[in-house]
Homo-oligomer: A and B are copies of this chain.
Amino acid sequence: MARREHNLIPENSPWKRKLFRIIYFADTPAGRIFDLSLLVLIILSTVLVMMESMPRVDLRYHFFLVYIEWIITILFTIEYFIRIIIVKNKKDYIFSFMGIIDFMSILPFFISLFFPFTKFLSIIRLLRILRVFRILNLMDYMNDGHYIVQALRNSSRKIYIFLLFIMILVTILGSVMYVVEGGENGFVDIPTCIYWAVVTITTVGYGDISPVTGLGKFISMILMLCGYSIIAVPTGIVTSQMKRGMTKTRVCKRCGNSENDDDARFCKTCGETINLIP
Q: How far is the CB of A6 from chain B (nearest CB, A)?
A: 25
On whether the beta carbons of A53 and B259 are closer than 8 Å, the reply is no
Taking the complex as formed, is A268 at the interface, i.e. its CB lies under 8 A from any CB of chain B? yes
Q: How far is the CB of A99 from chain B (nearest CB, A)?
A: 19
Q: Which residue of B157, B162, B238, B269 contacts A263 across the interface (Cβ within 8 Å)?
A: B269
On whether the beta carbons of B190 and A54 are closer than 8 Å, the reply is yes
On whether the beta carbons of A268 and B265 are closer than 8 Å, the reply is yes
On whether the beta carbons of A225 and B270 are closer than 8 Å, the reply is no
Taking the complex as formed, is A13 at the interface, i.e. its CB lies under 8 A from any CB of chain B? no
Q: Which residue of B195, B232, B277 contacts A237 across the interface (Cβ within 8 Å)?
A: B232
Cα–Cα distance between A200 and B205 once the two chains are bound (Å): 9
**For residue A178, which residues in chain B have a CB less than 8 angstroms away from its CB?**
53, 119, 123
Taking the complex as formed, is A15 at the interface, i.e. its CB lies under 8 A from any CB of chain B? no
On whether the beta carbons of B190 and A199 are closer than 8 Å, the reply is no
Cα–Cα distance between A233 and B129 once the two chains are bound (Å): 22
On whether the beta carbons of A183 and B224 are closer than 8 Å, the reply is no
On whether the beta carbons of A232 and B238 are closer than 8 Å, the reply is yes
Q: Which residue of B119, B171, B214, B258 contacts A183 across the interface (Cβ within 8 Å)?
A: B119
- Given contacts A205-B204, A263-B269, A179 and B119 within 8 Å (CB-CB): yes
Cα–Cα distance between A246 and B247 once the two chains are bound (Å): 14
Taking the complex as formed, is A208 at the interface, i.e. its CB lies under 8 A from any CB of chain B? yes
On whether the beta carbons of A123 and B179 are closer than 8 Å, the reply is yes
Contacts A/B (CB < 8 Å), 6 sampled: A50-B191, A53-B189, A123-B175, A145-B161, A204-B204, A230-B234
Known: A148-B158, A263-B269. 11 other contacts (CB 8 A): A53-B190, A123-B178, A123-B179, A127-B172, A130-B168, A162-B229, A195-B220, A199-B224, A202-B227, A206-B207, A266-B269
Q: A residues within 8 Å of B by Cβ?
A: 46, 49-50, 53-55, 119-120, 123, 126-127, 129-130, 132, 136, 140-141, 144-145, 147-148, 151-152, 157-159, 161-166, 168, 171-172, 175-176, 178-179, 182-183, 188-192, 194-195, 198-208, 210, 214, 217-218, 220-221, 224-225, 227-244, 246-247, 255-271, 273, 276-277
Name the 9 nearest CB pairs between A and B, nearest first. A204-B205, A264-B268, A266-B271, A202-B228, A232-B238, A206-B207, A236-B239, A207-B207, A232-B235
